[in-house]
C-alpha cells in the first residue's frame, strides 16, 4: 500500500491512506455467489444500504456473470440490468462512487454518460470488445484494467504461462502504453485477475508476488472474495467461504492491495483495521 497513489472519484481525491472497499452487487440470476444477486428495486437498495452502512467506499454493479462457463447475456439485456440498478441507486445515493463491471464498450458508455457511473471495471482488459479502449479514452473516467485470457466460457483452458508474474507484468505494461497513446488521461487501477485463466497454484503465486506490481505506481485492486482459489483449498462452497475470504483478503492487504472487491463489506473493513494496526506496530 502506498499513500502516493491517488485516484479522483466524484471530484474527490482518494489518496489510499487506507485501502478502499468495493462492494459487489450483481444484477444477474447466475453469479457464482447467490448472496451477491439482486433483482428488484428493493433488493438493490437493501444491499446498497447494507454495504454503505458497513463501510463500503465504492459500489460495483455487474449485469453479466463472468464466472467460468457463465451463460452468454446479450448486450441489451446487460445494459438494461446495470442501468436499471444505477438509476435506482442514484435516486438515493448521489455521491457514492459506482463502478460498472462490463467488458462491453457500449454498456460502459451508456452507464457513464446517461446514468452517472464513475468507474469502468473491465475484466477483459479491452480484449473482448476492441472498442473498449477508445471508448475509455473518450469517457476519461477511472478504468480498472484486469488481466485475463479468452472469455468467461474459455478462460480456464488458457492457463499456460512462461512465467505468470513476468507475463502479467508485460501484459500491464503493454495495455497501459496503449491506453496512454490513445490519450487516456484518467486513473488506471490494476487487477491481477484472481480466478481468471489461472490455476489455484498460479493464483497464490500471484498473491504472494502482488507487491511486484507496485512498480507501475498505480493502485492495485484485489478480488479474491469467495472464489474457487479459496474453495479448492478448503474443500468448501462459495456460501461457506467467508472465513477463507477474510484470510485471503488479509494476505492481499499484506501484499499491497489498495482496494478490496468483496461480497462481505463488514469483514473486509475489519480486516483492513487489523492489518493497519499490525503494520503500525512494526514502525
Q: For the chain, where are the alpha helices, taking DSSP H only?
A: 41-54, 75-92, 105-115, 132-139, 164-181, 200-208, 228-234, 242-254, 265-281
Catalytic residue, chosen from 5, 205, 261, 283, is 261
Q: What is the C-alpha separation between 16 and 13, in angstroms, rounded?
A: 9
Query: What pLDDT does residue 83 have?
Result: 94
Q: What is the C-alpha separation between 195 and 200, in angstroms, rounded?
A: 8
Q: What is the C-alpha separation between 6 and 14, in angstroms, rounded?
A: 5
Task: Using the structure block, give the residue that is written with the C-alpha cell 485475463.
Answer: 148
Catalytic residue, chosen from 104, 110, 198, 227, is 227
Q: Is 18 a catalytic residue?
A: no
* pLDDT by 10s per residue, the chain, length 283: 444 688 888 778 888 889 999 999 998 765 444 554 566 888 899 999 999 999 999 999 999 877 666 677 899 999 999 999 999 999 999 999 999 999 999 999 999 999 999 999 999 999 999 999 999 999 999 999 999 998 777 888 889 999 999 999 999 999 999 999 999 988 999 999 999 999 999 999 999 999 999 999 999 999 999 999 999 999 999 999 999 999 999 999 999 999 999 999 999 999 999 999 999 998 8
- What size, in residues, is the chain? 283
Residue 159 in grid coordinates = 492457463
Which of 273, 190, 194 has the alpha carbon at shortest distance from 230?
Answer: 194
Q: Is 273 a catalytic residue?
A: no
Q: Are strands 259-262 and 20-26 parallel, antiparallel or unpaired?
A: parallel
N-term to C-term CA, the chain: 15
Which positions ≥6 away from 181 have C-beta within 8 Å? none
CATH 3.40.50.1110 applies to domain 17-281 = no
| SS3 call for 98 | strand
Which of 83, 88, 89 has the alpha carbon at shortest distance from 104?
Answer: 83
Domain ranges in the chain are: 17-281
Cα torsion through 127, 110, 85, 197, rounded to 10: 0
- Its pTM stands at 0.93
Q: What is the C-alpha separation between 193 and 216, in angstroms, rounded?
A: 16
**CA angle, 187 then 167 then 143, to 5°:** 15
In this predicted model, what pLDDT tens digit does every residue of 217-263 receive, in sequence order?
Answer: 999 999 999 999 999 999 999 999 999 999 999 999 999 999 999 99
Amino acid at each position: 500500500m502506498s499513500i502516493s497513489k491517488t485516484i479522483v472519484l466524484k471530484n474527490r481525491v482518494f489518496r489510499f491512506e487506507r485501502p478502499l472497499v468495493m462492494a459487489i452487487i450483481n444484477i444477474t440470476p447466475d453469479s457464482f455467489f447467490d448472496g451477491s444477486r439482486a433483482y428488484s428495486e428493493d433488493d438493490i437498495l437493501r444491499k446498497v444500504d447494507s454495504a454503505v452502512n458497513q463501510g463500503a467506499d465504492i459500489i460495483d454493479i455487474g449485469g453479466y456473470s463472468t464466472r467460468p462457463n457463465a451463460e452468454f447475456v446479450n448486450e441489451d439485456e446487460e445494459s438494461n440490468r446495470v442501468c436499471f440498478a444505477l438509476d435506482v441507486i442514484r435516486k438515493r445515493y448521489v455521491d457514492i462512487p459506482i463502478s460498472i463491471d462490463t467488458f462491453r464498450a457500449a454498456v460502459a458508455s451508456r452507464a457513464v454518460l446517461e446514468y452517472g457511473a464513475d468507474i469502468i471495471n473491465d475484466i477483459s482488459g479491452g480484449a473482448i470488445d476492441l472498442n473498449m479502449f477508445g471508448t475509455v479514452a473518450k469517457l476519461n473516467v477511472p478504468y480498472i484494467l484486469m488481466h485475463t485470457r479468452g472469455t468467461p466460457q474459455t478462460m480456464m483452458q488458457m492457463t499456460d504461462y512462461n512465467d505468470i508474474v513476468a507475463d502479467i507484468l508485460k501484459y500491464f505494461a503493454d495495455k497501459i502504453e496503449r491506453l496512454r497513446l490513445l490519450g487516456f488521461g484518467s486513473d488506471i487501477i490494476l487487477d491481477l485477475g484472481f480466478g481468471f485463466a489461472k490455476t489455484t497454484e498460479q493464483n497464490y503465486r500471484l498473491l504472494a508476488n502482488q507487491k511486484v506490481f507496485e512498480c507501475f505506481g498505480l493502485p492495485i485492486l484485489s478480488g479474491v472474495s469467495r472464489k474457487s482459489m479459496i474453495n479448492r483449498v478448503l474443500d468448501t462452497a462459495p456460501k461457506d467461504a467467508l472465513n477463507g475470504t477474510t484470510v485471503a483478503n488479509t494476505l492481499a492487504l499484506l501484499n499491497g492491495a489498495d482496494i478490496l472487491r468483496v461480497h462481505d463489506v463488514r469483514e473486509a473493513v475489519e480486516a483492513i483495521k487489523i492489518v493497519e494496526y499490525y503494520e503500525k506496530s512494526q514502525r
